[in-house]
């Protein structure tokens, strides 16, 4: 396909279905309403596989206009639609689709392009639209096309033009000899918006219910409900109308087209344990851990074929298949495939005579296969199957391929937690996850495998092993799932309903209006995603209740039927959350309740049902003032949150990102201490969905770090600067999310089987619900979670902030041998004031927490620097252990800044001493050297704290371009970058290493300069030194040159 040309619709709704395409317009009309795109996005290998939404087309056109009218001194537009996020000054020029008919017409666009037709006349073209919102009208060479079905149960003569955002649409372009060969053919698609766009809440600060605007968007069904706005995101003006996913054209030989090769694991046998010679054997229920384990796996291989007869009513031929280890560059010739195949075969005498049919190619054994695991448990080997149909007379030929992994998935209700527990390869997996909407509010990165891979790698590096794709968002693309397969992330995918808009809290239980279109979207999503090993289970939607009515009964029945027919391997739950009470069904819903979403006392995360009573009380019981002591069955599934689908808290990006979001004036209007209402905050902060760091008690978590200390909060009490405010926010987040993940980890499979933070990703710049921002820069909360989860280490230490006991968590289904635990306590000036070493249980059992009979003591010590302030000590705690079959000693470590237990978290001046160390004393100077690793080209920095006094607190490493080469107005960070650790604590005498990795795309721009240091050229800039910036809470800022490796080309 060539570059896309975009045209405004020139017809009203009443005539649009019969509107002629742009190729049939008058020249003057065409020139007035169309523009040709010549853009090349920086994140996709094919610039035009997904042209993007209607709003995006207007942005691109307007950026061209700006370039054409700009002065000679201005070489670029004010913002880049591909790589920047639009601020309010951009967005104010674009209407909301609900404003009036003109606004709806504004977002109803034609997408046109030219298509090269093969010269071989017996080639038949097939167009697949992988994602269009909401309904396309397609013309090829001026002829309107109707989509064809790939489902045998559908009547071939039916109208398959289903509305919805997530269904694939297939079109027969006809034989090549029917099209003009002297010039390219023309593909033209008019995209109609969703029938019900809903009225959004446009106020940035409001007391109204704005979850999904006026809720009418739910009538449209298979759509992103959050595009009408939510409490964490502004409305999307066009509701993401347009072609948001891939446009694919394939030319096959003859009239047969293969679709959707399906690999279904039927049996797995560990090769060194038994032989498989009985077709009736069942899949082994519990498979061994270990990346060296080899298995024989039996798969049922099925492929779908559609027949588009041009000469005969049927055709005979054969199917051949080859199963090989996954590679991004697979051979196509049968000879090369045969040489690398783990299994292959041919099925002869096949007759294809139906418009669509599924063909079972047999139960196939794959020897010496390796198991796929989530990254916390093992490796992620993948395999590819290629299927070829060839007719007996060689007139027809078509291929289909798919990638898959070998693993089993199942679920059970936990014996202790009484909640949904996911099992992979027969083992229960404790799910530490994050909620996900999508990677960009405007779906600009929907085809970017690299963007998805970067985000999922950030999550994996922190220690998370699961993502919940929330029901008010989207079904993610195959690029997302391919990245999840490779990273080893388990995905909980919901369909597109929410309690906010589908009857429970607002809207109507019978929505969407068109149940048939909705379930056809569901059916196709199941078939599209079923081969991905990362897809763990499906959910009917977010917070639906009661599940007898939501999803609507017929919709729910169809979903279950389609999962059974087109998948048959994965669990399904109707809703994430239903209702508290004895009638709660853990087989139908994950939990009776979710939340809360505000900052908590860190000790409260170690309570059962954080933020709520234990046992839980229903709304009716609360209204009747029922006491928790009156609940008869306190351990019933509906009385506790065992599977926490949403637990949220505060969020604040690093200051470098905040400067990209907000003007300098807005930055200086940062919130005062104790502010709880958005009506007390600058409007520009509210535009980013600001959420308070102040508890309901009035305690401000940011201003706890203020020095001089704050005693009585008033509206005029503020941190001294935006720099102090932002650093304090990073520190507060670090403490909050460290306590959150440790609180949910300290009773795994006893109280909890899973927790998902609301949210971890950031589809838009936001001050609410994210551990990294839209630019993929992490914040203090991310590193607090990273520390609490030990970066995914299977054995981790948990300090119970409520009772000061120590715990050792083992998240693998195998035992480790414990050796010792050691702790030391230090004053902030670095002096050791106490410590101890103790033995821990010899056996750290799998999927278990060892609750040590040891209570960490508070060391009473004088604090001479500012004796009037509450003393703060750094406690460093380490656990040492080894594998049962390996003598190597491993360790995991956590650092905690603690005040005495008698103080708790209620003092507004709790961390004032930390503030004094930042504001009064000289900054800590660290010695840092960095060089690129010869093999991986990762950057390794060694940091030494050579001073005799003062802890280096929250020491931050940032990969940057030489800041001296810019005027300071640009963000010089290299994003994304991946750090082995960050925001670290360094005691006097400490040495540590920080490994920094970035994308291969970034590394390809590196050069070795004559002086032996790395330089870099970027897409927008000429060339800079690559450096590492080091700063921190009380650490002197410095920038470090990076030594070359011999693998980097010399400049």
Dihedral pair phi/psi, residue 726, rounded to 5°: -70, -40
Residue 879 pairs in a beta bridge with 821, 892
| pLDDT at site 617 | 94
| pLDDT at site 812 | 95
| pLDDT at site 434 | 98
Burial of 494: CB neighbours in 10 Å, binned 0-12, 13-18, 19+: buried
Q: Distance of CA 157 to CAs 128, 553, 811, Å?
A: 19, 28, 54
Residue among 290, 285, 526 nearest 408 (CA): 285
Asked whether 705 and 732 are in contact (CB, 8 A), the reply is: yes
Q: What is d(CA 1020, CA 758) in angstroms, rounded to the nearest whole number?
A: 35
Burial of 26: CB neighbours in 10 Å, binned 0-12, 13-18, 19+: exposed
Q: What is d(CA 276, CA 269) in angstroms, rounded to the nearest whole number?
A: 7
Residue among 157, 134, 160 nearest 147 (CA): 160
Asked whether 952 and 985 are in contact (CB, 8 A), the reply is: yes
Q: What is d(CA 93, CA 101) in angstroms, rounded to the nearest whole number?
A: 17
Residue among 424, 425, 488, 435 nearest 461 (CA): 488
Reading the block at residue 761, the tokens are 């990703």
Q: What is d(CA 833, CA 282) in angstroms, rounded to the nearest whole number?
A: 60
Do strands 843-844 and 816-827 pair parallel, antiparallel, or not at all (unpaired)?
Answer: antiparallel
Residue 883 C-alpha from the chain's centroid: 32
Q: Distance of CA 809 to CAs 548, 814, 892, Å?
A: 39, 12, 11
Q: What is d(CA 286, CA 296) in angstroms, rounded to the nearest whole number?
A: 14
Asked whether 452 and 480 are in contact (CB, 8 A), the reply is: yes
3-state secondary structure of 583: coil
Q: Is the peptide bond before 884 cis (omega within 30 degrees of 0)?
A: no
3-state secondary structure of 876: strand
Q: What is d(CA 609, CA 615) in angstroms, rounded to the nearest whole number?
A: 8
DSSP assignment string, 254-292? SSEEEEEEEEEEEEEEETTT-----TTPPPPSS----TT
Do strands 873-883 and 420-424 pair parallel, antiparallel, or not at all (unpaired)?
Answer: unpaired
| pLDDT at site 1004 | 86
Asked whether 526 and 490 are in contact (CB, 8 A), the reply is: no
Q: What is d(CA 424, CA 373) in angstroms, rounded to the nearest whole number?
A: 7
3-state secondary structure of 722: helix
Dihedral pair phi/psi, residue 943, rounded to 5°: -120, 130
Per cent of the chain over pLDDT 90 is 77
Residue among 918, 986, 994, 958 nearest 778 (CA): 958
3-state secondary structure of 874: strand
Q: What is d(CA 892, CA 663) in angstroms, rounded to the nearest whole number?
A: 42
Give the chain's end-to-end CA distance (angstroms, integer): 37
DSSP assignment string, 1013-1045? BEEE--SSSS-EEEEEEEE-SSB--EEEEEE--
Q: What is the DSSP letter of 752?
A: B
| pLDDT at site 67 | 47
Rg of the chain over Cα atoms, rounded to whole angstroms, equals 30
Q: Distance of CA 909 to CAs 2, 98, 374, 912, Å?
A: 63, 49, 43, 5
Angle between helices 449-462 and 478-487 (to 10 degrees): 40
Asked whether 591 and 642 are in contact (CB, 8 A), the reply is: yes
| pLDDT at site 526 | 98
Dihedral pair phi/psi, residue 213, rounded to 5°: 60, -130
DSSP assignment string, 187-207? EEEEEEPPS--------SS-S
Identify the segments of the chain with pLDDT beneath 70: 1, 13-15, 38-48, 64-78, 157, 159-160, 179-182, 272-284, 330-331, 714-715, 903-905, 966-968, 1018-1022, 1046-1051
Residue among 481, 495, 496, 517 nearest 147 (CA): 517
Please tell me the total number of residues recorded for the chain in this structure: 1051
Asked whether 364 and 299 are in contact (CB, 8 A), the reply is: yes
Residue among 706, 308, 233, 250 nearest 473 (CA): 233
E strand spans, 55-198: 109-115, 123-129, 132-133, 135-140, 143-145, 169-175, 185-192
Q: What is d(CA 32, CA 8) in angstroms, rounded to the nearest whole number?
A: 9
Q: What is d(CA 286, CA 273) in angstroms, rounded to the nearest whole number?
A: 13
The continuous run of DSSP H or E covering 746 comes out as none
Asked whether 192 and 204 are in contact (CB, 8 A), the reply is: no
| pLDDT at site 935 | 80
| pLDDT at site 72 | 37
**pTM, entire model:** 0.95
């Amino acid at each position: 396909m060539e570059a896309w040309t975009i045209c405004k619709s020139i017809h009203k709704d009443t005539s649009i279905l019969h509107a002629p395409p742009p190729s049939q317009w008058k020249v003057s009309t065409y020139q007035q309403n169309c523009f040709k795109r010549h853009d090349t996005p920086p994140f996709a290998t094919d610039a035009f596989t997904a042209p993007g939404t209607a709003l995006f087309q207007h942005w691109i056109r307007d950026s061209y206009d700006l370039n054409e009218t700009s002065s000679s001194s201005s070489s670029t537009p004010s913002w880049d639609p591909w790589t920047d996020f639009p601020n309010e000054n951009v967005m104010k020029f674009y209407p909301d689709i609900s404003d009036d008919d003109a606004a709806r017409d504004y977002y109803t666009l034609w997408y046109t392009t030219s298509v090269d037709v093969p010269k071989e006349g017996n080639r038949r073209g097939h167009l697949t639209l992988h994602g269009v919102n909401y309904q396309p009208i397609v013309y090829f060479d001026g002829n309107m096309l109707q989509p064809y079905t790939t489902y045998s149960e559908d009547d071939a003569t039916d109208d398959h033009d289903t509305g919805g955002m997530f269904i694939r649409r297939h079109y027969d372009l006809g034989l090549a000899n029917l099209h003009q060969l002297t010039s390219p053919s023309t593909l033209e698609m008019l995209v109609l918006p969703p029938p019900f766009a809903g009225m959004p809440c446009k106020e940035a600060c409001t007391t109204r219910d704005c979850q999904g605007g006026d809720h009418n968007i739910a009538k449209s069904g298979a759509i992103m409900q959050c595009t009408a706005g939510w409490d964490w995101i502004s409305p999307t003006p066009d509701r993401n109308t347009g072609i948001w996913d891939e446009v694919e054209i394939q030319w096959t030989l003859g009239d047969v087209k293969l679709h959707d090769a399906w690999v279904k694991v039927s049996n797995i046998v560990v090769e060194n344990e038994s032989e498989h010679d009985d077709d009736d054997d069942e899949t082994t229920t519990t498979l061994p851990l270990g990346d060296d384990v080899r298995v024989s796996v039996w798969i049922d291989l099925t492929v779908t074929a559609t027949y588009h007869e041009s000469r005969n009513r049927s055709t005979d031929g054969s199917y051949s298949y080859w199963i090989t280890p996954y590679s991004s560059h697979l051979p196509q010739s049968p000879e090369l495939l045969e040489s690398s195949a783990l299994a292959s075969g041919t099925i002869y005498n096949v007759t294809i005579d139906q418009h669509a049919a599924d063909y079972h190619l047999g139960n196939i054994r794959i020897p010496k296969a390796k198991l796929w695991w989530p990254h916390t448990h093992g490796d992620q080997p993948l395999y590819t199957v290629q299927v070829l149909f060839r007719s007996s007379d060689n007139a027809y030929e078509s291929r289909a391929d798919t990638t898959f992994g070998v693993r089993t998935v199942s679920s059970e209700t936990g014996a202790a937690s009484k909640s949904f527990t996911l099992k992979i390869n027969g083992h229960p997996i404790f799910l530490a996850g994050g909620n996900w909407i999508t990677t960009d509010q405007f779906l600009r990165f929907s085809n970017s495998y690299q963007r998805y891979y970067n985000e999922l790698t950030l999550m994996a590096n922190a220690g998370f092993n699961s993502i919940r794709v929330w029901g008010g968002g989207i079904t993610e693309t195959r690029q997302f799932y391919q990245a999840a397969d490779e990273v080893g992330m388990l995905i909980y995918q919901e369909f597109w309903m929410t309690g906010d808009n589908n009857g429970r809290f607002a809207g109507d239980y019978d929505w969407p209006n068109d149940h048939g279109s909705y379930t056809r979207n569901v059916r196709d999503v199941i078939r599209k995603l079923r081969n991905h090993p990362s897809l763990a289970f499906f959910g009917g939607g977010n917070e639906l209740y009661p599940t007898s009515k939501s999803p609507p009964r017929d919709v729910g029945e169809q979903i279950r039927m389609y999962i059974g027919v087109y998948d048959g391997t994965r669990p399904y739950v109707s809703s994430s959350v239903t209702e508290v009470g004895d009638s709660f069904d853990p087989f139908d819903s994950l939990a009776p309740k979710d939340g809360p979403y505000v900052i908590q006392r860190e000790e409260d995360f170690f309570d059962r049902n954080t933020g709520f009573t234990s046992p839980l009380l229903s709304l009716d019981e609360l209204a009747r003032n029922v006491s928790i002591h009156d609940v008869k069955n306190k351990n019933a599934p509906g009385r506790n949150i065992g599977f926490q689908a949403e637990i949220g808290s505060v969020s604040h990006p690093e200051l470098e990102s905040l400067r990209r979001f907000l003007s300098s004036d807005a930055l200086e209007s940062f919130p005062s201490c104790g502010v709880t209402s958005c009506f007390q905050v600058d409007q520009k902060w509210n535009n980013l969905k600001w959420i308070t760091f102040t508890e309901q008690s009035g305690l401000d978590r940011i201003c706890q770090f203020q020095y001089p200390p704050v005693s009585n909060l008033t509206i005029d009490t503020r941190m001294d600067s935006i720099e102090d405010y932002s650093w304090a926010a990073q520190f507060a987040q670090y403490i909050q999310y460290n306590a959150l993940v440790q609180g949910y980890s300290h009773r795994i499979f006893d109280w909890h089987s899973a927790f998902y933070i609301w949210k971890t990703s950031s589809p838009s710049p936001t001050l609410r619900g994210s551990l990294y921002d839209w630019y993929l820069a992490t914040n203090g909360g991310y590193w607090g979670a990273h520390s609490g989860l030990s970066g995914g280490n299977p054995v981790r230490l948990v300090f119970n902030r409520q009772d000061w006991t120590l715990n050792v968590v083992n998240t693998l289904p195998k035992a480790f041998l414990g050796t010792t635990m050691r702790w030391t306590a230090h004053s902030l000036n670095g002096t050791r004031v106490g410590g101890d070493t103790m033995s821990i249980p010899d056996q750290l059992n799998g999927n278990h927490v060892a609750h040590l009979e040891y209570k960490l003591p508070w060391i009473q010590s004088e604090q001479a620097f500012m004796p009037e302030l509450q003393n703060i000590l750094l406690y460093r705690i380490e656990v040492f252990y080894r594998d049962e079959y390996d003598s190597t000693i491993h360790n995991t470590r956590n650092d905690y800044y603690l005040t005495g237990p008698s103080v708790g978290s209620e003092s507004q001046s709790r961390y004032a001493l930390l503030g004094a160390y930042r504001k009064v004393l000289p900054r800590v100077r660290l010695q840092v050297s960095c060089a690129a690793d010869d093999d991986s080209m990762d950057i390794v920095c060694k940091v030494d704290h050579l001073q005799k006094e003062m802890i280096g607190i929250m020491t931050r490493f940032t990969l940057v371009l030489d800041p001296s080469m810019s005027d300071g107005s640009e963000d010089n960070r290299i994003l994304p970058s991946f750090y082995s650790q960050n925001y670290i604590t360094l005691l006097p005498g400490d040495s540590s290493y920080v490994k920094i990795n970035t994308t291969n795309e970034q590394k390809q721009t590196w050069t070795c300069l004559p002086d032996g240091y790395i330089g870099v050229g970027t897409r927008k800039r000429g060339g800079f030194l690559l450096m590492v910036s080091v700063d921190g809470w009380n650490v002197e800022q410095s920038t470090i040159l990076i030594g070359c490796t011999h693998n980097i080309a010399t400049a």
